[in-house]
Amino acid sequence: MAKEGAIARIHSFQRFGSRLGLERMSALMALLGDPQDDLRVIHVAGTNGKGSVCRYIYEILRKNGYRTGIYTSPFIESFHERIEFDGALISDEDLDACTDLVMERVDHMLASGMDSPTEFEVLTAIAFVYFAKQDMDFLVLETGLGGGGDSTNVVKRPLATAITSISLDHTDRLGESVRKIAAEKAGIIKKNAPVAVNVDGREAAEVIAQVALEKDAPLIDASKFRWRCLESSTEGCVFSAEIMGRAYDEMRISMAGRHQVRNAVCALTVIELMRANGYIRVTREGVLAGLSAARLPGRFEIFRGGPDAMPVIMDGAHNEAGAEALADAMEELFPGERVLVLMGVLRDKLLHPMLTNLNRFSSEYIATEPANDRKLTALSLRAAIKGTGKACAAFSDAGRALDEAFRRRGEFGAILITGSLYLIGDLRRETMERVEKK
């Protein structure tokens, strides 16, 4: 592992919270020589789906021979997951060296009386420094929170941008209406850079279209492209689509759920935009390989001890739209099964719309807590769940909650662990080990 000092120094900036705005980040990057200006970036924002869209784009580019980096958040098990280049996570040595360089500039900021950057700003600066040192063709860049005020938005000239979805989440910081959230996400749109949009709802679409018009940014509405799911199973989907006049027949993705087809179509729209502008050449074989290779831990991830063993599903659905997509997938792929839901959430989430969707298929719940300062207590979550008429046990310790779920596995056809990616990170490795022993 990297020396604990680097990661601990990054985490020490947690005390400054999460603050939107580019003043601190712009100042820090200027002190570093603005390495992000030399990168060829595809910038992706959205309430849900942006991680999947980024991964599809990244793998398609890699399978077509392009040396590509990807910056995503949050991590599930390893801090290094956030910064990846050409199939490998950032090394301990590179993380240490880039952290040292960024911290020198942060010390200069503080000595000059400037506001301290946040943890995410420090990490994003480290990522830009690292990627600028690589012999790299493209960087797939995922926003952390929002868009216009997100630290990744110091990128001035992306090759293309994408907005994957708009729904209510982080309303305390992004705004309490779809229009306000859409305006914040649309902040990544830059002058003359094409944007692929895959949003539902007229209000959000109108806001994004207006920003694109003001920025002279060609807008392609990926939600209007016709696609058909030919097969859907726990192993993924096979689909066909027509995107910007090009036929994509019998494409296979390895992430389960029909919502992942929508994400793949959005990613392919970005690929078509880059191809149309002469940035890339791709083959059908490379696209097929990239779509198939794209996987994300904790996004409708299914573990089994054998072909006939009871499945354990992990999905980090943490808002209403995510819970709705999860419910659709559960009803399609596990119809009629008794499902035990192990759930832990953050207290700033809109809980009741999530429960309304989960109650479409859940039989019983176990409430627990993610290892995060913003957690909702297990007792508060249990009270909310019982208020909807569902039976629920509560364990503040996530490990004990997992023990209880596996103790009762014989009563159910499936176990689902959901509510927060932080909870997935807490329990994923132990869940895998338990399932493999069966």
Predicted pLDDT at 230: 97
Cα–Cα distance between 114 and 28 in angstroms, integer?
A: 10
Select 301-437's CATH number: 3.90.190.20, 3.40.630.30, 1.10.287.110, 3.40.50.2300.
Answer: 3.90.190.20
Which of 277, 270, 53, 34 has its CA nearest to residue 156?
34
Cα–Cα distance between 137 and 362 in angstroms, integer?
A: 45
CA distances from 391 to 369, 402, 413 (A): 17, 17, 17
Predicted pLDDT at 437: 62
Strands 236-243 and 227-233: antiparallel
Q: What class has domain 4-293?
A: alpha beta
66, 280 in Cβ contact below 8 A?
yes
Predicted pLDDT at 11: 85
Residue 382 C-beta-side C-alpha neighbours within 13 Å: 14
151, 25 in Cβ contact below 8 A?
yes
318, 420 in Cβ contact below 8 A?
yes
Q: Where in the chain is the domain with CATH 3.90.190.20?
A: 301-437
Residues 6 or more apart whose Cβ sits within 8 Å of residue 335: none
DSSP code string of 283-307: -HHHHHHHHHH---TTSSEEE-SST
Residue 66 C-beta-side C-alpha neighbours within 13 Å: 24
Q: Where in the chain is the domain with CATH 3.40.1190.10?
A: 4-293
Predicted pLDDT at 16: 56
Query: Distance of alpha carbon 60 from its chain centroid, rounded?
Result: 17
Digit-coded pLDDT (tens) for 25-53: 999 999 999 999 999 999 999 988 999 99
Token pair 């499902």: residue: 339
pLDDT < 70 positions in the chain: 1-4, 15-18, 168-176, 307-308, 437-438
DSSP 48: S
Phi, psi for 406 (deg, rounded to 5): -70, -30
226, 200 in Cβ contact below 8 A?
no
119, 45 in Cβ contact below 8 A?
no
Predicted pLDDT at 145: 81
Predicted pLDDT at 2: 45
308, 82 in Cβ contact below 8 A?
no
CA distances from 309 to 93, 292, 299, 306, 433 (A): 41, 24, 20, 5, 14
SS3 category, 416: strand
Phi, psi for 421 (deg, rounded to 5): -65, -25
Digit-coded pLDDT (tens) for 333-356: 999 999 999 999 998 888 999 999
Cα–Cα distance between 190 and 147 in angstroms, integer?
A: 12
